[in-house]
Amino acid sequence: MNNLVAILLAAGDSGRLWPIDEKLFINFQGSSLIEHSLNQLIRIGIKNFYLVGNSKNAVLCRKLQDIYPRVNIKVAVQKNNLGMAGAVISVKKEIMNHQILVVGPSDVYEDYLLTEFAGLYRQKPDGIMVGKKLDYYAPLGYLQTDNDIVKGIIENPPRDKIKTNLAAIVFDYFRNSKILVEAIEKSTSKKDDLYEVAKDRLIREGLVVKLLSYNGYWGYLKYPWHVLDISSYFLSRIKSKINKVRIDKTVKIEGQVCLEDDVTILENVKIVGPVYIGRGTLIGQNCLIRESMVGRNCIIGFASEIARSYLSSNSWFHRNYIGDSVILENCVFGSGAVTANYRLDSLNINSAIVGKKIDSGRTKLGAIVGRNCRIGVNTSIMPGIKIGSNSFIGSGIVVDRDLPDNKYLEYKDGHLNIVDNRIKINHHHLEDNRLKLKF
């Protein structure tokens, strides 16, 4: 695959994921999503990568070369706003005369998709597209096919007009990059689907594109709670690893539990796998951790319960219940703060996405909390609520609506107020290992 360049679409960051940003750099099991993607691509022999990022994440993208010294990772910054098509255009000169593989690196799929791609690639087709068999409806692009040949792409068909269950995963191979670039440049679309329109045009103009029919796991990040789905997928494949850790003899571990080095688990803790706990994290006495992914250097304090949640790094919990929740890095929850994760009426939990109420499809969903947040003691966060990064919430509050980034929600004179949060967070307590037990 020496002549193949993988173009990793790293520029898009969706407001629908708020308060999550930089989705490619969300960590699962110690590696970011883009690293998981690179690992899979490198494993089948790809050596050349173009990461098309944006002005915010280009720095992070450029650091990836250090992690992968044996392959070539170049970074371009996409300046147009033409979506995936624009990403390809951004590097059109650099990929000239190359085969290209366009990949959405926040998507998650099983290794065997890559193996099957490599097999199909050896047959030297003009193009390859991946269709994922769905057993539910979702507003996606769908492949029209005839005997393993892709015949067209229909974008967002209405539910009653859908004729195929093969959702188009962005994992597109073209033996000749030029014809894709030309198709994009010839296409016009006012909607966000220029890339799909160009691909459809190519196919309808006669390019023979092989279908790679895929029936395995496909994870993608459209809404923030999808972090929980992807976390569950990674957890489902985890293997137990318990060494270089300090675990009290009263700790009980069930199922597959992967503990990175320097994890400490104190008395009477129960871990119900699958669970992943990142390096340096401390689990205090009497905690219960179930089916969760916990990042590095967290402190899960006395009598906390973490269930089916994704916790990023450097966060600090104390006598909390965190259920079905996503908590980004550097957060602190006061004693008795709770994420409610179930509606009184048992119905699906809604969440406001870019101002619109969306059914999460889940009866269990807690909170989505951004980076650097602080939650007061005995505060209750209602199901599906999202807290923006750098926002603080006072004590004893019932949080029943989303809080934007950089705000401070306080109870004052009988009313809830939202004011700007100008407080600079002091991280020393989290960084200093000697202070770790001082919560």
Task: Rank residues 239 and 415 by Cβ distance to its own copies and give the closer one.
Answer: 415
Task: Rank residues 147 and 344 by Cβ distance to its own copies and give the closer one.
Answer: 344
Q: Compute the distance between CA of residue 170 and CA of residue 285 in angstroms, rounded to an integer.
A: 45
Q: Compute the distance between CA of residue 265 and CA of residue 159 in angstroms, rounded to an integer.
A: 49
- Provide, rounded to whole angstroms, the least separation between the CB of residue 341 and its own copies: 9
- Provide, rounded to whole angstroms, the least separation between the CB of residue 222 and its own copies: 24
Closest CA to 308 of 380, 229, 251, 219: 229
The answer to whether 370 and 383 have CB atoms below 8 angstroms apart is: no
- Provide, rounded to whole angstroms, the least separation between the CB of residue 376 and its own copies: 7
Task: Rank residues 65 and 232 by Cβ distance to its own copies and give the closer one.
Answer: 232
How many Cβ atoms from other residues are within 10 Å of residue 2's Cβ? 9
270-276 contacts, C-beta under 8 A, 24 or more apart: 273/235, 273/238, 273/240, 274/235, 274/236, 274/238, 275/235, 275/238, 276/29, 276/234, 276/235, 276/238
Distances (CA, A) of 422 to 257, 284, 402: 40, 32, 19
The answer to whether 5 and 311 have CB atoms below 8 angstroms apart is: no
- Provide, rounded to whole angstroms, the least separation between the CB of residue 437 and its own copies: 8
Task: Rank residues 150 and 430 by Cβ distance to its own copies and give the closer one.
Answer: 430
State the residues that interact with its own copies by CB under 8 A. 248, 250, 252, 266-268, 270, 284-286, 288, 302-303, 305, 307, 318-319, 321, 323, 332, 334-336, 338, 340, 342, 344-347, 363-364, 374, 376-378, 380, 382, 392, 394-398, 408, 411, 414-416, 423-426, 428-429, 438-439
Task: Rank residues 124 and 424 by Cβ distance to its own copies and give the closer one.
Answer: 424
- Provide, rounded to whole angstroms, the least separation between the CB of residue 265 and its own copies: 13
How many Cβ atoms from other residues are within 10 Å of residue 225's Cβ? 25
Task: Rank residues 176 and 286 by Cβ distance to its own copies and give the closer one.
Answer: 286
- Provide, rounded to whole angstroms, the least separation between the CB of residue 336 and its own copies: 5
